[in-house]
Amino acid sequence: MLPNRIIISRKGCDGDYGKCPSFIFDDEILSVPIPETHFVASTKYADLKLPLALRKNGRETFADLIDAIPLKLRGEIANSGAVHLDPDIRRDALDEINRTNWKPRLGQCCNADAALLPVEAGDLFLFFGWYVHAAWGSQITFSKKKGFHALWGWLQVGRILRGNNLSGTVLNGRDHPHFAALRDGKKHEGNRNSIFEAPDHLTFRPNTSGAGVFKYRPLLRITHPACRVECKSLWRLPRFFHQRLKPLPEDAWCAEGEFTCVQSAGQNQEYVFQRPVDGSLDDQLTRWLHSLFQE
């Protein structure tokens, strides 16, 4: 069953939060979570494990990664700092002792959560961020001026928990920063606080996990390939997105053959595509989704 909505969701460090890009090492996509500046957080970058493929030569955690970023390019992340682990979609990101009854989860709150009120079970989040191709020797080397936006992970919605009274509704909720905020007595204006929890498998691809991180391929890049320097927010997407990605206005789009181009707006966190109820785009949507997950 296809998702009724696709939400292209900004997650990871960017020019406003963290002020540091995330990295692509060969085909390994490494999203760098933003620093925690709002909620009380017990998880530090030193606690956060690197993906298994990047754990070598004594480097094990995101603190080791930060140590290898040239100081002038680290932005606002610090190896001793607290981390906002959201979305939390890698089981091996923390020690297993802290992952009892773990489920992949995404949280949203405040004004950004208002855009997600229509979201329901079966809808699909595709996470994007600011990326550079990089190499890791004694230091991480990359060209900051050639960054681009790329899709890096996914979470299909299996269960939704909403409101300021979430802390007792699921097991092991303390690991997620939106549960931690409630534990520490913080409330969100207008009761805007949501947790989106993944099912075990995708509804439209039953052999694929309900949440995870992609291996990098060029089709995951959403910045227009003609962009070279600091224009990463000009996107080129499959044509079925044309004039259908809210909150972008209809007059912002330009058709380009089998693609459509649009200037994504500022620092919006959530861009929502609504699948037509008449099924007119289902074939195109199906082909594109399966191309994302084919590896």
Strands 245-246, 193-197: pairing kind: unpaired
Q: In 91-206, where does DSSP find H-type helix? A: 110-114, 177-183
> From residue 243, how far is each of 126, 234, 246 by CA, in Å?
18, 15, 8
Give the separation between CA 230 and CA 211, rounded to whole angstroms. Answer: 30
Residue 162's pLDDT is 80
Instruction: List pLDDT tens digits, range 218-269.
Output: 999 999 998 876 689 999 999 999 999 999 999 999 999 999 999 997 768 8
For 40-68, write each residue's pLDDT tens digit: 667 899 999 999 999 988 999 999 999 99
Element (H, E) at 70: none
What's the confidence (pLDDT) of residue 171?
Answer: 45
Supply the DSSP string of 186-206, one letter for each residue: ---GGG-EEEEE--SB-SSST
Determine the residue type at 217: R
Our CA dihedral for 119, 120, 126, 129, rounded to 10 degrees, sits at: 40
Query: What's the one-letter identity of residue 48?
Result: L
pLDDT computed for residue 229 by the predictor:
66
Q: Which stretches of the chain score pLDDT less than 50?
A: 171, 190
- Whether residue 70 contacts residue 140, with contact meaning beta carbons closer than 8 Å, is answered with yes
